[in-house]
A and B are shown apart, each in its own frame.
Chain A
Amino acid sequence: MSDIASRVKAIIVEKLGVDESEVTPEASFTNDLGADSLDTVELIMEFEKEFNVAIPDDQAETIGTVGQAVAYLEKNVKA
């Protein structure tokens, strides 16, 4: 697992109070991991903080699963 993927996973486990094993790439924040709309906003903010990146709202709307978050961050975070 990439460094980004493991950090994303840690944030999701912390914020959503889910088990690590549930945080699969296909897992949807709202459908599988019990997030509501406010949780999702908070997750995006945590990703921004953790990776020092600004995620515009229109981009944030396309991030609905763990895999989508990791892919977006791998593409946009400076190594």
Chain B
Amino acid sequence: MEFKRVVVTGLGALTPIGNTVPEYWDSLINGVSGAAFIKSFDVEKFKTKFACEVKNFDAEGFLGRKEARKLDPFVQYALFSTEEAVKDAGLDFEKLDTSRIGVIWGSGIGGLKTFLDEVVNFAKGDGTPKFNPFFIPKMIADIAPGHISIKYGLRGPNFTTVSACASSNNSLIDAFNYLRLGKANMFITGGSEAIINEAGIGGFNAMHALSTRNDDPATASRPFDLDRDGFVAGEGAGTIILEELEHALKRGAKIYAEMVGGGMSADAYHMTAPHPEGLGASLVMKAALEDAGLVPADIDYVNVHGTSTPIGDPQEVKAITDAFGDHIYNINISSTKSMTGHLLGAAGAVEAIASILALKHDIIPPTINHFTDDPAFDPKINFTFNKAQKRVVNIAQSNGFGFGGHNASVIFKKYQQ
């Protein structure tokens, strides 16, 4: 059977460097860092005292007090970025067949804050299980797409993809595949994460995964720099409206780009460490290219996973080298995590948005915070250090790798009839 074509018709973003897509893009191309000392809890005893928090987000103003109280921040964020995307796509659901519109959402962890608060409350008591009736439905990772469907009355396929930091690349790929197969007309997809709390920071600290550059948070996320010392936790949400092309054309939708491929693989190596030769990462990029019917020479830009960890960044460069061969010297590579921090289950979504906007504007957002070259990396590779670069971008690829060894990579292309 012939696959249907799938296009991007709406975007929404709530990020540490901007609470709307225009603000996010403006920060991306101007190299703004979202990292600062954590405001949401007392960090005195924590090894890492900073993160990329969402700023000036007024949950009660957005949702009303009653509703806000029932939603974990990861759901509040999801509803916020989705509202922007729905408006951006010009969707009037009363005029559309809502049984053919689904929501596939990524979250690596779900309602960690809710879990933490409830368990702390239980531990403080005498052992009597006094749990709030909203504990479970607030926490579960699948509740975000549930709430999106309830808000807009969308009765198509609805679920969450969970693959740690690859989660929202997986949600994009699932939505893309169902649309290609004609199983739905449209998906609200993307992901959200909200783990900047005692459990999240303490947990990742215990793994030695986070940067501890407490004397200079703004430059702590420095992918591919010699002195990188771990990732910087981020939070937020990204929403992408994926739509079957004919459906989009019929309603006169604005088209940002075409989604042309998605690849998935596993490292089958270690719980948290990436494969030292980048085997899974290389496989996933090749799989995405093959799925899109493309060859490495077609790619202009790779928005890398690039988390700024000592062992993660080199394996990804090895993987790109293996997948792209000499074409690696012709592409731009950048890690926008240098600005946003690592949004975990939302990273794929906000980085796909960065890639889509790079296609739209022909600008590559930079890898900021580069001070010292790492001799491990070939100096001929263009990491787009420190400043955005203008270049024609016809096709962009975005990678996401998660604890558990999950890899997922997506490819977007400038839309042509």
Q: Taking CB as reference atom, which chain B residue is nearest A44?
A: B133
Contact status B64-A17, CB under 8 Å: yes
| Most-contacted residue by chain B among A17, A34, A49 (CB, 10 A) | A17
| Most-contacted residue by chain A among B66, B69, B137 (CB, 10 A) | B66
Contact with A along B51-68 (1 / 0, CB 8 A): 000000000000011110
Contacts of A45 in B (CB 8 A): 130, 132-133
Q: Taking CB as reference atom, which chain A residue is nearest B130?
A: A45
Contact status A41-B66, CB under 8 Å: no
Contacts of A42 in B (CB 8 A): 132-134
Contact status B66-A38, CB under 8 Å: no
| CA gap between A41 and B137 in the complex, in Å | 14
Q: Taking CB as reference atom, which chain B residue is nearest A39?
A: B133
Contact residues, A1-19 vs B (CB, 8 A)? 15-17
Contact status A38-B137, CB under 8 Å: yes
Closest 9 CB pairs of A and B: A17-B66, A41-B133, A38-B133, A17-B65, A42-B133, A38-B134, A42-B132, A16-B66, A17-B64
Q: Taking CB as reference atom, which chain A residue is nearest B60?
A: A17
Contact count A vs B, C-beta below 8 Å: 20
Q: From residue A53, how far is it (CB to closest CB) to chain B in Å?
A: 13
| CA gap between A17 and B133 in the complex, in Å | 17
- Of the four ranges (under 10, 10 to 19, 20 to 34, 35 or more), the interface on chain A belongs to under 10
Residues of A within 8 A of B (CB): 15-17, 34, 38, 41-42, 45, 49
Q: From residue B129, how far is it (CB to closest CB) to chain A in Å?
A: 11
Chosen A-B contacts, 13 in total, with CB atoms closer than 8 Å, are A15-B66, A15-B69, A17-B64, A17-B66, A17-B67, A34-B66, A38-B133, A38-B134, A38-B137, A41-B133, A45-B130, A45-B132, A45-B133
Q: From residue A20, how far is it (CB to closest CB) to chain B in Å?
A: 14
| CA gap between A24 and B255 in the complex, in Å | 53
Contacts of B66 in A (CB 8 A): 15-17, 34
| Most-contacted residue by chain B among A38, A42, A45, A49 (CB, 10 A) | A38
| CA gap between A50 and B403 in the complex, in Å | 43
Contacts of B133 in A (CB 8 A): 38, 41-42, 45
| CA gap between A34 and B65 in the complex, in Å | 14
Contact residues, B118-148 vs A (CB, 8 A)? 130, 132-134, 137
| CA gap between A42 and B135 in the complex, in Å | 10
Q: From residue B113, how far is it (CB to closest CB) to chain A in Å?
A: 18
Contacts of B132 in A (CB 8 A): 42, 45
| CA gap between A34 and B132 in the complex, in Å | 18
Q: From residue B43, how far is it (CB to closest CB) to chain A in Å?
A: 29
Q: Taking CB as reference atom, which chain A residue is nearest B132?
A: A42
Q: Taking CB as reference atom, which chain A residue is nearest B136?
A: A38
| CA gap between A45 and B128 in the complex, in Å | 12
Contacts of B69 in A (CB 8 A): 15, 17
Given A16-B66, A45-B130, 17 other A-B residues pairs in contact with their CB atoms under 8 A:
A15-B66, A15-B69, A17-B64, A17-B65, A17-B66, A17-B67, A17-B69, A34-B66, A38-B133, A38-B134, A38-B137, A41-B133, A42-B132, A42-B133, A42-B134, A45-B132, A45-B133
Contacts of B130 in A (CB 8 A): 45, 49
Q: Taking CB as reference atom, which chain B residue is nearest A37?
A: B133
Contacts of B137 in A (CB 8 A): 38
Contacts of B67 in A (CB 8 A): 17
| CA gap between A51 and B207 in the complex, in Å | 43
Q: From residue A63, how far is it (CB to closest CB) to chain B in Å?
A: 15
| CA gap between A16 and B133 in the complex, in Å | 14
Contacts of A34 in B (CB 8 A): 66
Q: From residue B102, how far is it (CB to closest CB) to chain A in Å?
A: 24
| CA gap between A34 and B66 in the complex, in Å | 10
